[in-house]
Amino acid sequence: MDDAKTPTRADISDSDKWDLTHLFADVGKWQEDFAWVQRTDPKLQDWKGRVGESAQTLAAVLEFEKSLDLKIERVYHYASLQLAEDSTNNEYLARIGQVQNLLTKIGEAAAFLFPEILAIDDEMLAKFVADPALAEWRIKLHKVRRMKPHVLSVPEERLLALGSVALSGYDDTFSQLTDVDMKFGVLVDEKGRERPLTQSSFSSFLVKRDHELRKRAFHQFYAEFRDHQYTLAASLAYAVKADVFHARARRYSSALEAALFPDDVPVAVYDGLIRSVRANLKPLFRYFDLRRRALGLRELHHYDTYVPLVPEIETRFTFDQAAEMVLGALEPLGKEYVDVLAEGLRARRWCDRYETKGKRSGAFSSGSYQAPPYILMNYKEDVFSDVYTLAHEAGHSMHSWFSQNSQRFQDYEYPIFLAEVASTFNEELLTDHLLKTTTDPKMRAYIINRQIDDLRGTLFRQTMFAEFEKIIHAIEESGDALTLDVFKSQYRGLLEAYFAENFVIDSELDLECLRIPHFYHAFYVYKYATGISAAVALSQRVLAGESGSVDAYLNFLRSGGSKFPLETLKAAGVDMTTSAPIESTLRLFEQRLDQLEGLLL
């Protein structure tokens, strides 16, 4: 196969693709369920104005909505996964459009439900909840009731439901522009071969030993973003405007509070993360200087921060080898965990492994109730971090598996705050496993360097992203305009704060703020930083063999969305309302840095 050609789906073996027949045997079966939802959702209106009649009536409408939700979740899951595997396929684009329109219609039809639940007076609702008819809905009703200050009247909820798709168009614009329309050309690699530069292959170029190749890849990649910077800035600005609109419409004091409230996470936790990391940047600066010296560079650029510091070791692992490493690392969690994941990655084909033309970049895990928790990868054999990515996404998928096998549908969906604990926990176990299975000083240095970079990328970098999100939303909330220059200048200020002397911040790096997909789903990235802090604490307990630690962790996975995240973590042994988990992770970073300096210098 021509190295300069990105393969199509037809070029890839079926064994390397996810098997969506676990969701629907064929498109015809999908269409049957889609049609069923279309026929059934109007019947919701039978309960309009009656929700508060009795406990039995409330139970009946909740069960009916659940039957709709079960179907539509699976219908959406299938359509979204197909679009992720090829965003240029018109049939897939049409299908996801159909689902989005149906979701809007259902949202409009169901707009009466929450307001009517909230209209039930406290004394009456307490009697309802005590009734056996609502025994399975007590957790859900508690969460719904808590939202009372931010749920609007029926006509207002209907308008918000009608406008939901139109107000999220910025995300589709960003995805289509960056995944389909933008072309990054080809590069001649270190072996003289032409290779395509894409969103996915960019990371592969950044780990090459050839400094000039990394530099060319960086400047060529960002040249395309510069050509589209005004469109991207407009899309990001409207994403922020939409966040602020929704927060104000629902009577929150800020978009940040609106994002944190459903998880019952105080703004103080978000601010505390930024404060703790900001106060501990010196070890990060020290690491950058070590990296500069180890690479023999006069000055360090961003494109020099991903190449492994151990020059003699350039890894190459097949996907199957990566899976074996991950499974071996997770053995401390017990036979059930490992066996289920092994079957999912092999026989049940949960994972779509390799980059193909039109496929979504990056990686994710995506599940639906009583269906496989699928994994999208763009696996590269020469990018060692992709082994960690597989461990990370497997953490999400196994969280989904344990949750859906332990909780009812209405309680199984865990919040993102907890998801990032499960994923980064797996990465911590992988590092420990790799360090235990090698005595080679160079390989150990390589693995420690990998963990340092993981902590750098997950704790320091995501905290910087979180601070950027807070800043740009505050600017919009103050009434000032969000322009391209504002985005770039604010991001430049953060780059200067989070990076050290002897680090050259190329002008192109200001554009990085326009290419981060998570910024279109604001106040998500902080959960990576809090997640890794909780994961470090939990994994250290498991690896130390602390009594009951494995059961506590597996119970954490099983809990799904049955409790609020801070409560769930506290039950597992981590209190995220304090700075202790974050400071412990920062100490781990410094300890690993000491070890790396001892091995390299």
Strand 374-376 relative to strand 351-352, pairing:
parallel
Domains of the chain: residue spans and CATH:
9-164 (1.20.140.70)
pLDDT band at 231 (very low <50, low <70, confident <90, very high): very high
Average of per-residue pLDDT across 49-56 = 95
Whole-angstrom Cα distance, residue 367 to residue 404?
9
Q: How far apart are CA 396 and CA 401, in angstroms?
A: 9
Q: How far apart are CA 445 and CA 438, in angstroms?
A: 11
Q: Which of 364, 392, 346, 348 is nearest to 83 (CA)?
A: 364
593, 460 Cβ separation under 8 angstroms: no
Assign 3-class secondary structure to 396-409: HHHHHHHHHCCCCH
Residues 519, 259: Cα–Cα separation, whole Å: 13
CA 362 to chain centre: 10
Identify the bridge partners of residue 374 per DSSP, sorted by sequence position.
366
Average pLDDT of 386-407?
96
Query: Chain-wide mean pLDDT for the chain?
Result: 93
Q: Is 257 exposed, middle or buried (0-12, 13-18, 19+ CB in 10 A)?
A: middle
**What is the pLDDT at residue 123?**
94
CA neighbor of 467 nearest in space, from 385, 535, 522, 396:
522
Of the candidates 106, 222, 241, 238, the residue with the CA atom closest to the CA atom of residue 162: 106
Burial of 308 (0-12, 13-18, 19+ CB in 10 A): buried
Once rounded to an integer, what is the mean pLDDT over residues 387-397? 95
The stretch 83-111 carries a mean pLDDT of 92
Nearest C-alpha neighbor of 206 from the set 318, 288, 305, 290: 305
> What is the rounded average pLDDT of the residues 470-483?
98
CA gap 56, 60 in Å, rounded = 6
Average pLDDT over residues 368-397: 94
For helices 267-278 and 462-478, what crossing angle results, to 10°?
A: 120
| pLDDT at site 290 | 95
Question: Measured in Å, how far apart are the chain's first and last C-alpha atoms?
Answer: 42
pLDDT at residue number 2: 43
What is the Cα–Cα distance from 419 to 421, expressed in whole angstroms?
Answer: 5
Residue holding tokens 């676990």?
Answer: 22
Residue 199: is its pLDDT beyond 90?
Answer: no
Q: What is the pLDDT, as a whole number, of residue 47? A: 93
**Tokens standing for 38?**
């279309």
* Catalytic positions, written as ranges: 393
Confidence tier at 490 by pLDDT (50, 70, 90)? very high
Longest Cα–Cα distance in the chain: 76
What number is the average pLDDT over the span 161-185? 89
pLDDT digits (tens, 9 = 90+) for 115-170: 899 999 999 999 999 999 999 999 999 999 999 899 888 888 889 888 888 888 88
pLDDT digits over 249-258, tens only? 999 999 999 9
Band the pLDDT of 3: cuts 50, 70, 90. very low
Q: What is the pLDDT of residue 4?
A: 52
Say if residue 227's pLDDT is above 80.
yes
Structure tokens at 185: 């050309």
Q: By C-alpha distance, which of 59, 58, 116, 69 is closest to 412?
A: 69
The DSSP secondary-structure symbol of 456 reads I
Nearest to 417 by CA among 577, 279, 548: 577
Average pLDDT on 428-435 reads 94
Structure-block tokens of residue 279: 């106060």
Q: Check residue 312 and give its pLDDT.
A: 65
Other beta carbons within 10 angstroms of residue 481's beta carbon come to 9
CA-CA distance, 241 to 514, in Å (whole number)? Answer: 15
**Those residues with Cβ within 8 angstroms of residue 468's Cβ, 6 or more apart along the chain or in another chain:** 490, 491, 494, 513, 519
- Per-residue pLDDT of 281-336, as tens digits, reads 999 999 999 999 999 999 999 999 999 888 766 778 999 999 999 999 999 999 99
- Identify the pLDDT of residue 311: 73
Q: Strand runs (DSSP E) across 167-207, as ranges? A: 186-188, 194-196
The C-alpha atoms of residue 274 and residue 272 are separated, in whole angstroms, by 5
- Return the closest-CA partner of residue 395 out of 441, 369, 364, 368: 364
pLDDT at 1 over 80: no
Q: What is the DSSP string of 327-384?
A: HHHTGGG-HHHHHHHHHHHTTT--EE-S--TTPPSS-EEE--TTS--EEE----TT-T
DSSP 47: G
